[in-house]
């Protein structure tokens, strides 16, 4: 599904991939496999947007993991019972012109 969505983006278009799992395979793994497949099979080019600065204001609400914590492509919200949400993973991918 992610690969199909990325193939439909116009140049400059953005797609957000999000899950509600802690599984690295379903999170960064899916993004990695989709991008690798597209780069091998097409001439389309994409970039993964760095969301580190965008999520900084939310750090007081929950525990966020990003590239500094071993995430390669996206950000992850770790479950935190007092705030009653999580897990959540999200990655922003832009098609380059």
Instruction: Based on the residue annotation, tell me whether 20 is a catalytic residue of this protein.
Output: yes
Which 8-state DSSP code applies to residue 11?
T
> Which residues, 6 or more positions from 46, have their beta carbon under 8 angstroms from its beta carbon?
6, 35, 38, 39, 93, 94, 95, 96
CA 67 – CA 88 distance, rounded (Å): 15
CB 91 within 8 A of CB 80: no
Query: Which one of the listed residues 8, 14, 16, 20 is annotated catalytic?
Result: 20
Give catalytic residues, as residue numbers: 20
């Amino acid at each position: 599904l992610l690969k199909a969505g990325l193939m439909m983006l116009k140049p400059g278009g953005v797609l957000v991939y999000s899950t509600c799992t802690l599984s690295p395979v379903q999170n960064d793994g899916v993004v990695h496999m989709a991008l690798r497949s597209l780069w091998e099979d097409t001439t389309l080019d994409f970039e993964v947007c760095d969301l580190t600065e965008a999520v900084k204001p939310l750090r007081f609400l929950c525990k966020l993991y990003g590239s500094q914590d071993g995430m390669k492509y996206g950000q992850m919200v770790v479950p935190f019972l007092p705030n009653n949400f999580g897990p959540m993973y999200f990655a922003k991918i832009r098609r380059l012109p």
